[in-house]
Amino acid sequence: MPHMQALLNTVLPVALVVFSGYLLGKRIPMDLTTLSRLTLYLLVPALIFDAMYRAEYSREGLVGLALGFTLTYLLLFLAITGMARLLGLPPEAAKSLLVCSLFPNSGNMGLSLVYFALGEEGLRRAVVYFILSSMVMFGLGPAFIRGGSLKEGLLFTLRLPLFYALLLGLLLKALGVSLPFRLDEGLRLMGQAAIPVLLLTLGMQMSQTRFQVGAFEGVASGLRLLLAPLLAYGVGFILGLPRLEHQVLVLQSATPVAVNAFLLTREFGGEALRVARSVVVSTFLAFLTIPLFLLLIGVR
């Protein structure tokens, strides 16, 4: 089945890089703070700029998909915060649960999955979801994680290169501006290093303690892999979204915890080790849950 091949093609390379980082961390002590800051302040901004600058998306169905995305995120946010209170989680754990469960891997996994399941037209709509998700993750995510008042959080976000890389990439794309002297290729080269370095750092983080899967990882994975796509399905149904937009909304919502969730918690607060474990656990559990949602939306 093409969509299962897409899952394998996405998950197994990720597993290889994470495991390599785990082995390296066991053998050689590494400065993870420097690595994570290199990734956050240089490599990921280059990656985000490149993704926005080169994005090919469809304007068709844009309003409906954006509305479905917004409502799904708001409902999921309320559900996660409610669950954190119900479980009596301390602030750091509650922030970590929010980051794990709210932000999907809508980039490398979501885009490839939608492409194989729904084709080129589906992919163009999936890019819209990816752009919206990136705006929330890198525009509001640091403010949520760091805490404090909303004003303090937003002012903090405005000091991060992530935010400006996102805006600049979208602006140049909208204006049709081409960078001179192939500078975009240099930025793309830096951006291509972001995911490997981030995955290696994740593996090295996990090497510092015994790998254990507890209630936190189970709840985070359940919220991310089951509740999020079910909410997306319900929202799309109530809004009466066209079939393709509805399918894209559900599939992108069904992807596992974003790898960048680990980066954000490591740098801005939260329990990075729990988030790292949740990334790994949810990625492998996605093999069981995504096929169910493919059936639900009528993809065979």
Task: Tell me the pLDDT tens digit for each residue of 135-162.
Answer: 888 888 887 887 766 676 777 778 888 8
CB-based burial, 140-157: b 16+ in 10 Å, e otherwise = bbbbbbbeeeeeebeebb
Question: Residue range 236-264: average pLDDT?
Answer: 93
- Higher pLDDT, residue 241 or 32: 241
- CA 20 vs CA 14, 70, 105, 279, 285: distances in Å: 10, 37, 21, 16, 21
**Structure letter (DSSP) for residue 140:** T
Residues 6+ apart with CB under 8 A from 206: 18, 22, 25, 273, 276, 277, 280
pLDDT score of 37 more than 80: yes
Segment 118-123 mean pLDDT:
84
The residue with greater pLDDT, 74 or 131, is 74
pLDDT of residue 119: 85
CATH code at position 172: 1.20.1530.20
* pLDDT attached to residue 213: 80
Q: What is the pLDDT of residue 223?
A: 97
The DSSP H or E segment spanning 76 is: helix 62-86
Burial (CB count <10 Å: 0-12, 13-18, 19+), residue 215: exposed
Q: Which of 53-57, 73-77, 102-106, 120-124 has the highest mean pLDDT?
A: 73-77
Question: What residue type is 297 in one-letter code?
Answer: I
Strand partners, 257: 104
| Confidence label for 164 from pLDDT (cuts 50, 70 and 90) | very high
Q: What one-character-per-residue DSSP string does 103-116 give?
A: -B-TTHHHHHHHHH
Identify the residue with better confidence: 55 or 161: 161
Distance CA 211, CA 124 (A): 38
Res 49: pLDDT: 92
Residue 53 has pLDDT above 80, yes or no: yes
Q: How confident is the model at residue 209 (pLDDT cuts 50, 70, 90)?
A: low
Question: What dihedral angle (degrees, nearest 10) is formed by the CA atoms of 19, 223, 194, 247?
Answer: 110
Tell me what percent of the residues of the chain surpass a pLDDT of 70.
Answer: 93
Q: For residue 133, what are the contacts with CB-CB under 8 A and spacing of at least 6?
A: 69, 103, 104, 106, 252
Could you give the 3-state DSSP secondary structure of residue 214? coil
Amino acid 110: pLDDT? 86
* Average pLDDT of the chain, as a whole number: 88
For residue 3, name the pLDDT band (cuts at 50, 70, 90).
low
How far is 101 from 108, CA to CA, in rounded Å? 18
Q: Is 279 helix (H, G, I), strand (E, B) or coil?
A: helix
Rounded to whole angstroms, the Cα distance separating 163 from 155 reads 11
Q: State the residue for tokens 């894209």.
A: 248
DSSP 84-131: HHHTT--HHHHHHHHHHHH-B-TTHHHHHHHHHHHHHHHHHHHHHHHH
* Residues in contact with 260: Cβ distance below 8 Å, sequence separation at least 6, in sequence order: 44, 103, 137, 138, 198
Q: How many domains does the chain have?
A: 1
Domain that holds residue 156: 2-296
208-215 mean pLDDT: 77
3-state DSSP assignment of residue 43 = helix
- Band of residue 240 on the pLDDT scale cut at 50, 70, 90: very high
d(CA 128, CA 133): 9
Stretch 34-59: mean pLDDT: 86
pLDDT of 252 over the 70 cut = yes
* Closest residue by Cα to residue 240 from 110, 36, 117, 67: 67
70-117, pLDDT tens digit by residue?
999 999 999 999 999 999 999 999 999 999 999 999 887 888 888 888
Report which residue type is found at 291. P
Confidence of residue 6 (pLDDT cuts 50, 70, 90): low
Taking only Cα atoms into account, the Rg of the chain, rounded to an integer number of angstroms, comes to 18
Q: Which pLDDT does position 30 carry in this prediction?
A: 84
